[in-house]
Amino acid sequence: MSVAHRTLECPVFSQLLPKKKSKSRAWEHFGLPANESGQIVSQDIAVCKLCWSPVSAKSGSTSNLFGHLRLHHPLKFSAVSNKSKVVTATGQYSPFCAAVDESIDEPQPHSNMAASESNQFNFVDNHRHKRQKFMTDFQRLDDQASKRTTDSVTKFLVCTMQPYNLVDRKEFKNMGHKIRQELSLIKKDTISVTTDCWTSIANTPYITITVHFITSEWALKSACLACAHFDDDHNGKNIAEVLRSILNDWGIDVQNIMSITTDNGRNIEKSIEELNLENAHISCFAHNINIGVNHSLDIPILKRAIAQLKKLQNAFAMSWKMKRDLHKAQELLQMEVKTLLSACPTRWWSTLKLVKRFLENQLPICKTLLEYPNKKHLMLEGNEISALEDFTTATELLEDITSSLSGEQYTTASAVLPLYMKIKNNLENKDEDSSLLKSIKSEILESLNKYESHPMSSNLQLSTLCDPRFRLNFIESPEEV
């Protein structure tokens, strides 16, 4: 069954029963399906009393319930939220839905109480809802008042993670008409997207999609559209269907996507082809750096050195006496007291931090190991230490670049080509380089050469051209851009 349609298999039921011992207000609008004898047929599925859609509620989780209300019944969601009140112009609190037709979210008639299919996804709930101001003055708004009102609506859409086309819905326009506000309806013609498939620590698969856009005040904003449970095969077609369905739920046309950033998985790249977004695709620069560095860590001598270093680090981590004696040795040598850091397999820079910490503390580490004869064998040999030094030389710059590309409040696409050229210059082979250092440099550069190919290079050049920091400084053929 395709995840793109998200049809939960809910057994046929004849009545809905309340969730026992539940304190969440979300259950006011949901019930558990039960048969005629009052026996619950599924504890993992809740049925919406407003639209009869089945929603996943495994282990009693209410995140999906709140997500369903927020997406399909915003007025009811506002009512059950803790911050469901807004500030009026007089400074008093009043219910958000007081000025709106209450009949909008009333349940529709249903003939046989059978669960209908639902297109909703398992959205992760975001409880950061802000109070919004709206006018109680029924006079015609001047230009400044209209701008303030528009800004308030924009803040409401962003802070409550509402779809940007909410302002086009009949219910929203009806609310605006009832409170006599002339709102400048907000629309976004173009957006950028980042998406990824990932697995939680509980080995549960998810897919996440985030949009990025610029407001009328030129502020860069990001919003997570979905973090959905994705238990279908992770092939290109299924991923494309999920992405298309999520975008459709938010009223976003795929053709309005100017760029989409992903990792290098073949299934992800295939989904980009299914969506006809090849010309808008940008491969994640930090992810490619990670691939190149991990390939270099597979070079035999370096792999052996890292493995030995991890054994050494583990020995200090497991023995409080060795850690104590290491700190004493550092104090004796008038060095800053530090411990050996652990390395995470999926974060290459954590390995670099461990290597740098070891190289800085070789003397106190040796002194400590002399006091533990059965641990002397853990100290690295000369060729292994040289391998770690070569690794540090090649990757130290990449750590800073990865960190700078992880920002969300500033543009990063325009910096990709300048940073790529800086890496190329920094990793040029020198006569004094060892054979290992040359191999490390080669592995890293090989993972990044895709940024010189069309159409990705053309998009990045155009982005760099539009950045006043760079302009034409990093573009070899401006006429082609």
Specify the residue for token string 């599924």. 42
Q: In this predicted model, what pLDDT tens digit does every residue of 64-82 receive, in sequence order? A: 888 888 888 877 887 776 5
> In this structure, which amino acid lies at residue 348?
W
Strand ranges (DSSP E) for 70-181? 85-87, 93-95
Which of 100-114, 173-187, 244-258, 426-440 is predicted least confidently?
100-114
277: exposed, middle or buried (C-beta count within 10 Å: 0-12, 13-18, 19+)?
buried
- For the chain, give the longest Cα–Cα distance: 87
Average pLDDT over residues 37-50: 86
For 102, the 3-state DSSP assignment is helix
Q: Report pTM.
A: 0.60
CB-CB neighbours of 9 under 10 Å: 10
Q: 33: cis peptide before it, omega within 30°?
A: no
Give the best-scoring range by mean pLDDT among 160-174, 195-209, 289-303.
289-303
253: exposed, middle or buried (C-beta count within 10 Å: 0-12, 13-18, 19+)?
exposed
With 60 as the cut, is the pLDDT of residue 130 above it? no
Contacts of 37 (CB under 8 A, 6+ apart): none
Predicted local confidence at residue 60, as pLDDT = 74
Among 324, 311, 393, 320, CA closest to 356: 393
Pick the more confident residue, 93 or 192. Answer: 192
Angle between helices 382-404 and 416-426 (to 10 degrees): 160
Confidence of residue 348 (pLDDT cuts 50, 70, 90): very high
Confidence of residue 342 (pLDDT cuts 50, 70, 90): very high
Among 342, 467, 479, CA closest to 413: 467
Contacts of 341 (CB under 8 A, 6+ apart): 313, 350, 353, 354, 357
Average pLDDT over residues 131-159: 61
Predicted local confidence at residue 179, as pLDDT = 57
Predicted local confidence at residue 144, as pLDDT = 65
Report how far residue 191's alpha carbon sits from residue 113's, in angstroms, rounded to the nearest whole number: 40
Which of 33-37, 48-52, 232-236, 454-458 is predicted least confidently?
454-458
With 70 as the cut, is the pLDDT of residue 361 above it? yes
Strand ranges (DSSP E) for 74-190? 85-87, 93-95
Among 207, 202, 159, 163, CA closest to 186: 163
Strand ranges (DSSP E) for 9-61? 15-17, 30-34, 45-48, 54-56
Confidence of residue 101 (pLDDT cuts 50, 70, 90): very low
Residues present in the chain in total? 481
Report how far residue 324's alpha carbon sits from residue 326's, in angstroms, rounded to the nearest whole number: 5
Q: What's the half-sphere exposure (Cβ side, CA atoms, 13 Å) at 430? A: 10
